[in-house]
């Protein structure tokens, strides 16, 4: 991810918007690459939000903002399904996204109609465990006007029709805004390259879950 972010951030100015900030893994990478870059992280899990705010304060990070909400097509109180502890990085607001749920906590979600987002966005990163379509729909106006590079994790559909449907709808939305897809190829923990593809595809493994959506002029 560090290699990819260095490549993308070197190309254009603007904020880095992180949907699914979790415990700050990506935030720290962005700050290590460009400490003057504006970082805006969205994270609905209150446990993670508390940790992120302490992380920012203790490290004196000046340009980082955490907004304690998730992103969805409309504002409402969603259920965040936790599977492995209070700060679970695999938590999802998609019902039954995984077979078991340890706990469900109520969290706020909003769309860009309720949010004041940066005027210029260089990169939008999305890591929301199945909720990618809702994020794209919730930020549709912002994406159409700012045209950021979009880095998104899309987990395999595992032959589940509802996952396939969400993936196809996500592609349709972004194709309609002129975006194209590349698989983020990795080797030995480093960026091996970006492979253009016509579609995310359904028959994938966990080795191919990271994608870059970009416009030809980007």
For the chain, what are the domain ranges? 2-214
What pLDDT sits at residue 90?
A: 87
Measured distance CA(97)–CA(117) in Å, rounded: 29
Cβ burial of 78 (10 Å; 0-12, 13-18, 19+) is: buried
Count of CB atoms situated within 10 Å of the CB of 102: 12
Beta strand pairing call for 190-197 and 121-126: unpaired
pLDDT (tens place) for every residue of the chain, 218 residues total? 899 999 999 999 999 999 999 999 999 999 999 999 999 999 999 999 999 999 999 999 999 999 999 999 999 999 999 988 888 888 999 987 876 767 899 999 999 999 999 999 999 999 999 999 999 999 999 999 999 999 999 998 878 889 999 999 999 999 999 999 999 998 888 999 999 999 998 767 777 899 999 999 75
Tallying the residues shown for the chain, one arrives at 218
**In angstroms, rounded to a whole number, what is the distance separating the alpha carbons of residues 163 and 155?**
9
State the sign of the Cα–Cα–Cα–Cα dihedral 105, 111, 112, 114. Answer: negative
Annotation: CATH topology of 2-214: Rossmann fold (3.40.50)
pTM, 2 dp: 0.95
Residue 195 near residue 185, CB atoms below 8 Å: yes
Element spanning 69, H or E: none
* H or E stretch at 115: none
């Amino acid at each position: 991810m560090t290699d990819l972010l260095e490549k993308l951030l070197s190309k254009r100015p603007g904020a880095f918007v992180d949907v699914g900030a979790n415990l700050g893994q990506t935030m720290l990478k962005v700050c290590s690459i460009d400490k003057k870059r504006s970082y805006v992280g969205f994270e609905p899990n209150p446990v993670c939000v508390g940790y992120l705010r302490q992380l920012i304060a203790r490290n004196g990070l000046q340009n980082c903002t955490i907004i304690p909400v998730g992103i969805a097509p409309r504002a409402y109180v969603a259920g965040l399904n936790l599977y492995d502890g209070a700060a679970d990085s695999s938590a999802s607001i998609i019902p039954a996204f995984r077979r078991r749920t340890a706990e469900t906590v109520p969290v706020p979600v909003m769309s860009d109609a309720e949010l004041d987002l940066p005027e210029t966005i260089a990169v939008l990163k999305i890591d929301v465990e199945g909720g990618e379509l809702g994020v794209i729909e919730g930020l549709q106006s912002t994406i159409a006007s700012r045209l950021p590079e979009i880095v998104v994790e899309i987990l395999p559909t595992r032959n589940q029709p509802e996952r396939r449907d969400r993936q196809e709808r996500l592609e349709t939305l972004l194709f309609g805004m002129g975006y194209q897809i590349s698989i983020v190829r990795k080797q030995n923990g480093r960026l091996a390259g970006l492979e253009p593809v016509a579609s995310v595809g359904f028959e994938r493994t966990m080795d191919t879950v990271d994608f870059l959506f970009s416009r030809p002029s980007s």
